[in-house]
Amino acid sequence: LPLGERLSRRIVDGERHGLEGDLDEAIASGRTALEIINDSLLAGMKVVGELFGRGEMQLPFVLTSAEVMKTAVAHLEPHIEKTDDEGRGTIVLATVKGDVHDIGKNLVDIILTNNGYTVVNLGIKQPVSEILRAAGEHRADAVGMSGLLVKSTVVMRENLEEMNSRGVAADLPVLLGGAALTRAYVEGDLAEIYRGEVRYARDAFEGLRLMDAIMQ
Ligand code: B1M
């Protein structure tokens, strides 16, 4: 198999043996770390999601694929382009209550951190109380919530309502991302509810663009 397809295949098969060698070869061939992540690794994760969704892959194998994905991203991280800027702003980032998916959130962390933002990454299954506590403690310029489950879209709405009732919305722009969300839901329905700014980020790069806009 060509190298790109081999890397996708490694994610689907959860095959870690020889992974680092293939990643080094891809870098040496002139592909950037982000191209490798976007074109090969995420393509593999997409197949995993489709197989799982069709009942053709069992959960433990999905978990193994996710672990190989994380190993690959960690191996590539030193190669990801970095700006010299620092202190461009602070964002508190979390996967919402009830949701364990964190690969996308951690990519957002890497992209923002490498572009000069301070990211307070709280991890997974975070209740809104914890997110707001951290936002206060770190004087965050924005809050980013990730969630991949359909029920996480409901949790996000409840979180925004809680932020309204605590009176913090006007000062706390919110970025939302994750596979179960749509732009129409976030920038239509949720924007109507939230008494501050709430925006949808399709991917980590849109998260960066939105953060840049917030800080302007
Ligand atoms: Co789960 N899972 N999973 N899973 N899983 C999905 C989400 C699912 C769509 C699979 C499917 O059925 N086809 C489905 C959800 C269905 C639904 O809600 N309607 C599902 C399910 C059902 C479940 C369980 C309930 C299964 C079970 O237990 N029976 C369970 C949930 C547990 C829980 O959360 N309470 C579960 C568990 C798991 C694993 C633990 C095995 C593993 C996660 C491991 C981990 O993250 N550490 C896992 C995985 C890997 C997936 C799929 C296959 C892949 C997700 C992924 O990492 N994608 C997923 C299928 C899919 O998404 N279609 C699936 C790659 C990642 C880079 O993409 O996170 O979307 P993503 O991030 C993108 C953008 O969305 C965006 O940027 C990234 C790209 O640049 N983005 C942001 C994300 N967050 C952002 C935040 C931002 C900005 C952009 O700003 C704040």
ipTM reported for the complex surpasses 0.95: yes
Closest atom of ligand 1 to CA, residue 102:
46
Q: How confident is the model at residue 212 (pLDDT cuts 50, 70, 90)?
A: very high
Q: Average pLDDT for residues 163-174, to the nearest whole number?
A: 96
Q: How confident is the model at residue 60 (pLDDT cuts 50, 70, 90)?
A: very high
| Ligand 1 centre distance from Cα of residue 67 (Å) | 13
User: What does each C-alpha distance from 167 to 101, 159, 164, 171 come to in angstroms?
Assistant: 29, 12, 5, 9
| Ligand 1 centre distance from Cα of residue 28 (Å) | 31
Q: Is 140 in the pocket of ligand 1 (CB under 6 A)?
A: no
Question: Is the overall model pTM greater than 0.90, yes or no?
Answer: yes
> By CB neighbour count within 10 A (0-12 exposed, 13-18 middle, 19+ buried), where does 139 fall?
exposed
Query: What pLDDT score does 91 carry?
Result: 98
Query: What pLDDT score does 69 carry?
Result: 97
In the chain the first and final C-alpha atoms are separated, in Å, by: 46
Query: What pLDDT score does 47 carry?
Result: 97
